[in-house]
């Protein structure tokens, strides 16, 4: 779990105070900042000291193992060691920060650690500061990376942040569509966790709360207020906590295939899949569709049209590789239930 959590409007201003005890002599704090903020006001508020460095990270595409390895290599060459890695941005930037922190101390390539509990050595100090809410990346024990072989997280006890700063002012100006897609990641986490076979009271307690908060902000055609940013930020936190002790399910397992092959981004990819999952999550999908309609969001259709046999096979392989997700969704005999043919038919609908 994350060791320290700060929540509140304006809490970003406490960053200097928070980082001071973590500073080591001559070892800089490295701020990985979402490139969206380049030239904006936020970077000027980062409390730089000594040889600290801001690196704007390009998250046009979701994080890749190559990108993580290159960043960690660059920092080791330049500084030897660093005091910490601070990720400021959406799920992609936070995942990059978590992965780079781990690769400052673990040998080899981040691709070697894609899987469950392969990381053996703690990384350097790491803190996460979300500017989009929904992924739960701020609390999760994974960092999702696309590698040469697979799109899969570095799931480990060493992956969670040491500190997170949840300041709802930072998500205030997120574009409506992006806010919705990332927010739906949280909603879908709740449905997949609450409807899953791995469910337990820990996951249910957080999942129920996150679901309620998502319903409060995305249903009822209400005008968006600051209070909604507060709620969405806590929904993301609780949704992340919910899957920390369970798993995601069908929407994620299928959307990983899309993003591996087509580069479809996580939030929108989950929405594209969720739109067609009535048979697995009837109530959740009906409510999801209501949210889409009330918030006037377009969910892309027909993205698998015209794909080759080989491409479908690739997506099916990536998706089938997500064993814990399928097992959570469908139980131990999931392979009999979700046959390659059935998965193929589902991809064809998207």
Ligand X SMILES: NC(=O)c1ccc[n+]([C@@H]2O[C@H](COP(=O)([O-])OP(=O)(O)OC[C@H]3O[C@@H](n4cnc5c(N)ncnc54)[C@H](O)[C@@H]3O)[C@@H](O)[C@H]2O)c1
Q: Tell me whether residue 27 or residue 174 sits nearer to ligand X (CB atom).
A: 174
Q: Which residues ranging from 278 to 307 are in contact with ligand X (CB under 6 A)?
A: none
Alpha-carbon distance of 102 to 40, in angstroms, equals 29
The site string for Fe ion over 154-193 (x = CB under 5 A, - otherwise) reads -------------------------------x--------
Q: Tell me whether residue 106 or residue 133 sits nearer to Fe ion (CB atom).
A: 133
Q: Among 142, 163, 161, 143, which residue's Cα sits nearest to residue 11?
A: 163
The site string for ligand X over 116-135 (x = CB under 6 A, - otherwise) reads ---------------xx--x
Q: Which residues ranging from 39 to 68 are in contact with ligand X (CB under 6 A)?
A: 59, 62-63
Q: Among 143, 163, 166, which residue's Cα sits nearest to residue 154?
A: 143
236 near ligand X, rule: CB under 6 A: no
Q: Which residues ranging from 155 to 184 are in contact with ligand X (CB under 6 A)?
A: 171, 173-175, 178, 182
Using CA of residue 137, residue 72, residue 114, residue 59, what is the dihedral sign?
Answer: positive
In whole angstroms, the minimum distance from the beta carbon of 6 to ligand X comes to: 18
* Opening angle at CA 255, ends 301 and 187, nearest 5: 90
- Looking at the DSSP bridge assignments, the partners of residue 127 are 86, 163
Contacts for 339 with CB less than 8 Å, ≥ 6 apart = none
The site string for ligand X over 73-92 (x = CB under 6 A, - otherwise) reads ----------------xxxx
32 near ligand X, rule: CB under 6 A: no
Of 136, 147, 168, 257, the one binding ligand X by CB under 6 A: 136
Give whole-number Cα distances, 39 to 33, 42, 184, 304, 324, in Å.
11, 9, 29, 37, 42
Alpha-carbon distance of 26 to 22, in angstroms, equals 12
Look at residue 130 and give its three-state secondary structure: strand
142 near ligand X, rule: CB under 6 A: yes
Q: Tell me whether residue 141 or residue 276 sits nearer to ligand X (CB atom).
A: 141
In whole angstroms, the minimum distance from the beta carbon of 239 to Fe ion comes to: 9
The region that residue 318 occupies, defined by phi over 0 for left and psi between -120 and 50 for alpha, beta otherwise, is alpha
Please report, as ranges, the residues that interact with Fe ion according to CB under 5 A: 185
Please report, as ranges, the residues that interact with ligand X according to CB under 6 A: 34-36, 59, 62-63, 89-93, 95, 131-132, 135-137, 140, 142-144, 171, 173-175, 178, 182, 185, 265-267
């Amino acid at each position: 779990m994350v060791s320290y959590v700060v929540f509140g409007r304006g809490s970003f201003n406490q960053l200097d105070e928070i980082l001071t005890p973590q500073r080591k002599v001559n070892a800089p704090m490295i701020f990985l900042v979402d490139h969206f903020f380049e030239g904006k006001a936020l970077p000027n508020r980062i409390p730089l000291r000594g040889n600290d460095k801001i690196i704007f990270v390009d998250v046009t595409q979701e994080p890749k193992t190559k990108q993580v390895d290159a960043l960690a290599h660059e920092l080791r060459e330049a500084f030897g060691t660093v005091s910490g890695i601070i990720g400021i941005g959406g799920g992609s930037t936070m995942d990059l920060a978590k992965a780079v922190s781990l690769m400052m101390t673990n040998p080899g390539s981040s691709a070697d650690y894609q899987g469950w509990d392969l990381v053996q050595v703690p990384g350097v100090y790491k803190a996460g500061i979300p500017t989009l809410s929904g992924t739960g990346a701020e609390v999760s024990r994974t960092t999702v990376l696309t590698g040469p072989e697979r799109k899969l997280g570095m799931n480990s006890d060493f992956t969670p942040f040491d500190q997170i700063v949840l300041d709802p002012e930072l998500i205030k100006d997120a574009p409506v569509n992006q806010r919705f897609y990332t927010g739906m990641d949280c909603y879908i986490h709740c449905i997949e966790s609450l409807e899953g076979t791995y469910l337990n009271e820990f996951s249910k307690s957080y999942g129920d709360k996150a679901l309620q908060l998502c319903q409060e902000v995305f249903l009822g055609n209400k005008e968006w207020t600051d209070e909604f940013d507060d709620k969405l930020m806590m929904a993301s936190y609780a949704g992340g906590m919910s899957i920390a002790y369970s798993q995601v399910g069908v929407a994620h397992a299928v959307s990983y295939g899309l993003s591996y092959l087509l580069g479809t981004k996580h939030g929108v990819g989950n929405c594209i899949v969720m739109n067609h999952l009535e048979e697995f999550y009837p109530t959740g999908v009906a409510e999801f569709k209501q949210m889409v309609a009330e918030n006037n969001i377009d969910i892309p259709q027909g993205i698998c049209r015209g794909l080759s046999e080989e491409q479908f096979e690739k997506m099916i392989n990536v998706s089938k590789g997500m064993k814990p997700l399928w097992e959570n969704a469908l139980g131990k005999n999931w392979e009999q239930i979700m046959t390659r043919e059935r998965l193929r038919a589902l991809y064809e609908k998207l």
